[in-house]
Amino acid sequence: MLTFNDPGKLQAWCRLRRQKGEKIALIPTMGYLHEGHLSLIAAAKRKNATQIVVSVFVNPTQFGPNEDYDKYPRDEKADVTKCRKAGATAMFFPTPRNMYPEDYSVFVNEDRLSATLCGARRPGHFRGVCTVVAKLFNIVHPHFAMFGQKDFQQVQVIRRMVRDLNFDVEIAMAPIVREKSGLALSSRNTYLSDAERTSALAISEALRTLRRKMHKVSKLPAGDVKKQILAHLVKNGLKPDYVEAVDAETLAPSETIRKGVAVMIAAYAGKTRLIDNTII
């Protein structure tokens, strides 16, 4: 497995691989890798990628001023070992300075899907995400890029960016990987105390209960379900940021929960903001 720090060197290497007829997959991450990230490598293999490039970059432009950029967990060495074992063929560890020179001045804004949910609570977040992903697409020029459903709004925003800016990249989404307890894996879970971790289970529990209900009926009123989920989160000591039922394509609010609706949750366990979702 190769590792790169310099965008130009990775770009030249990827260009050569593409010319040789190889199928290149890109997996953008912020590192501190867990089984959720590694499932994206496995998915890229199943899609017959011959080169799997994992980028690890805690992207400063997607963090708000009061967010956790400085304390975001980092462990480059462990990430390299895990990626090698999982079958990645190259890793990219850029520095903030070689991604964003001092006089950097171009950003990508997606204005519609970014306006709700996490985008509404984290101003500038998806501008940072779109900008860094656009840069990674231009550096790697992958045949496809893998993203996790864990960040479902992110997937839809990136799909829109790809459509609207005519990027020559297929976007593939992989399911959410969970602990046995149901908790969705996240690098941020490392912030949780034992008590907060127990509280956090309420999020996946609420979604599991909903999925179970939806096996028996074809629709439910979103208002009632949202109320029940909010109450469950609060009862378990979480501070909900939002609980929303939205159309999975447009992310517009939905009055009913039915096929094609995504139920999206963001909640704080202590100071840690957790997200999860289910698509009916």
* Catalytic (active-site) positions: 37
Of residues 10, 24, 26, 39, which one binds ligand AMP by CB under 6 A? 39
Separation of alpha carbons 24 and 31, rounded Å = 20
* Cβ atoms of 165 and 138 closer than 8 Å: no
The pair of structure tokens assigned to 110 is 């997606």
Q: Is 17 in the site for ligand AMP (CB under 6 A)?
A: no
Separation of alpha carbons 58 and 74, rounded Å = 8
Q: Is 131 in the site for ligand AMP (CB under 6 A)?
A: no
Residues in the chain, overall count: 280
Q: Is 29 in the site for ligand AMP (CB under 6 A)?
A: yes
Separation of alpha carbons 187 and 30, rounded Å = 9
Of residues 7, 24, 37, 132, which one binds ligand AMP by CB under 6 A? 37
Separation of alpha carbons 142 and 10, rounded Å = 12
The residue nearest ligand AMP at its CB is 148
Footprint of ligand AMP on residues 144-173 (CB under 6 A)? Answer: 147-148, 150-151
Q: Kindly tell me which of 40 and 225 has the beta carbon lying closer to ligand AMP.
A: 40
Q: Is 176 in the site for ligand AMP (CB under 6 A)?
A: yes
Q: Kindly tell me which of 10 and 220 has the beta carbon lying closer to ligand AMP.
A: 10
Q: Kindly tell me which of 158 and 214 has the beta carbon lying closer to ligand AMP.
A: 158
Of residues 25, 38, 40, 225, which one binds ligand AMP by CB under 6 A? 40
* Cβ atoms of 91 and 80 closer than 8 Å: yes
Select the span of 32-40, 103-111, 200-208, 262-270 touching ligand AMP (CB under 6 A).
32-40
The minimum distance between CB 276 and ligand AMP, in angstroms, equals 9
* 68 membership: H or E segment, kind and range: none
* 3 membership: H or E segment, kind and range: strand 2-4
Select the span of 8-16, 45-53, 178-186, 203-211 touching ligand AMP (CB under 6 A).
178-186
Q: Kindly tell me which of 157 and 233 has the beta carbon lying closer to ligand AMP.
A: 157
Separation of alpha carbons 136 and 266, rounded Å = 27
The pair of structure tokens assigned to 32 is 């501190």
Separation of alpha carbons 276 and 264, rounded Å = 6
Q: Kindly tell me which of 89 and 187 has the beta carbon lying closer to ligand AMP.
A: 187
- Name the CA radius of gyration of the chain, rounded: 19
The minimum distance between CB 31 and ligand AMP, in angstroms, equals 6
Name residue, tokens 């602990």.
179
Positions touching ligand AMP (CB under 6 A) are 29-30, 36-37, 39-40, 147-148, 150-151, 174, 176-177, 184-187
